Amino acid sequence: MTSRERVWAAITHQPVDRIPAMIWATTEVRQMLLEHFGTDDWAVVEEQLGVDGIAHASLPYAGPGFVGPDGLAAGLWGVQSRRIELPTGGSYSERTHAPMAEFTETAQVEDFHFGSPGDWDFQAAADFCRAQHPHRVVLAGYMAPYVDLWNLFGEERALLNIALRPELIEAVLDRTMDYRLRQHRMLFEACGEYLDLTQVTDDFGSQNGLVMSRAHIRRLFWPHYKRAIALAHEFGLKVYHHDDGGIGEIVPDLVEMGVEVLNPVQWNCRNMDIEWLKREFGDRLCFEGAVENQSIIPFGTPEDVRAEVRKNIRVLASDGTGYICGPCHNIQSGTSLENVLALYDEVRVSGSFG
């Protein structure tokens, strides 16, 4: 099978010749692998590791620029951030300005300038999808209402307002999701038959469970999820949902609404038992990730990593499909080369059915 055929078969619960693999790694781990394989081409690394993966199309912004309160350039809707360089060679982005942080009234939301949903380079995304489609399953789009909230308010203010000013939150969600739905309709129309998946996604989980109650999530977010999932299905797309942490409490809701791929399956978090997930939802969900990345991949031995891969394949692919194997988050700086190589070698060894 080709990588495209293998991943699509896993997503659609058809037989596979071997369990497909994906990779998710920090900049420094990617550099380590490039040096190990003596190349500057990431595609060579993926080929050597046996990575199938999903091709993620970016959607470049092409509209008028946003400006922050300091007069400097800002991202979408005026959100500002700075890049923090790490001693290990990696980096991360830290928000410095959330434009709605001080909002208390819905009238302020009504007056806020969101710009046009058409201010994006849909053709660039479509060109990427067309080029990748013969080789990979292709994903484009990112509808994440809670992520938009925390960018506009900051995480702490977003959570406080969910509890104290739900009418303010509802007003913002109405505006942001109207924008996102119009934006994504244009994206899906541009990409056409060359697009397979889209993200309707968020980060509702923490190590010990949900970051807010299931009741709050159902009341505030699920109406918008249903609109987004309906749009995806209107275009014949599968729905991919990324959600770190202990989200087991809302997995039944996600499945009922039409989510078809669940990433990253952090089984060491609360309510994320993989045997329960496969037993209850394995006929409707394809699982992606699951190889434990807080202790086993960075700190275990190569055999520990291999045993972890074998366990996940045994459980999440117990019916021979419905699983894309890989780390449950970015492989982190400081992880040994031997552990990374062991992970992907074990997928080839234990995940083959030929």
Tell me the domain boundaries of the chain: 1-56+264-354
Q: Cα 212–278–16 angle (5° rounding)?
A: 130
For position 91, what pLDDT does the model report? 76
Q: How far apart are CA 241 and CA 57, in angstroms?
A: 16
**Residue whose structure tokens are 């993926």:** 46
In this prediction, residues 7-20 reach a mean pLDDT of 98
CA torsion through residues 36, 326, 194, 191, sign: negative
Q: What is the mean pLDDT of residues 284-290?
A: 98
60 Cβ partners below 8 Å, 6+ apart? 120, 121, 124, 125
Quick: pLDDT tens for 64-73. Answer: 999 999 999 9
**Helical residues (DSSP H) of 269-328, grouped into ranges:** 274-281, 296-299, 302-316
Mean residue pLDDT of the chain comes to 96
CA separation for the pair 74, 260 (Å, rounded):
34
Residue 263 contacts residue 240 (beta carbons within 8 Å): yes
Residue-level pLDDT at 256: 98
* DSSP secondary structure string for all residues of 43-76: HHHHHHHT---EEEE---B-SPPEE-TTSSEE-G
* Residue closest to 289 by CA, chosen among 345, 330, 246: 330
pLDDT tier at 118 (50, 70, 90 boundaries)?
Answer: very high
Name the nearest CA neighbour of 174 among 241, 101, 79, 109.
Answer: 109
Checking if the pLDDT of 354 tops 70, the result is no
88 confidence band (pLDDT: 50, 70, 90): low
In this structure, the number of other CB atoms found within 10 A of the CB of residue 29 comes to: 23
Distance CA 206, CA 212 (A): 10
H or E stretch at 248: none
Position 156 pLDDT exceeds 80: yes
* Cα–Cα dist 159/212, whole Å: 8
In one letter, which amino acid is 146? Y
User: Can you give the pLDDT at residue 187?
Assistant: 98
DSSP 8-class letter at 320: S
User: Distance between the two ends of the chain, CA-based, in angstroms?
Assistant: 11
Structure confidence at residue 85 (pLDDT): 83
pLDDT of 131 above 80: yes
Residue type at position 289: G
Q: Is 86's pLDDT higher than 80?
A: no
Pairing of the two strands 137-143 and 197-200 = parallel
The amino acid at residue 11 is I
Vertex 25: Cα angle to 152 and 303 (nearest 5): 135
pTM for the whole thing?
0.96
Burial class (CB within 10 angstroms; exposed 0-12, middle 13-18, buried 19+) of 257: middle
3-state secondary structure of 354: coil
Q: How confident is the model at residue 300 (pLDDT cuts 50, 70, 90)?
A: very high
Mean pLDDT of 57-79: 95
CA distance 285 to 241: 10
Tell me the pLDDT tens digit for each residue of 236-265: 999 999 999 999 999 999 999 999 999 999
Calculate what percentage of the chain has a pLDDT beyond 70: 99
Mean pLDDT, range 10-34, rounded to an integer: 96
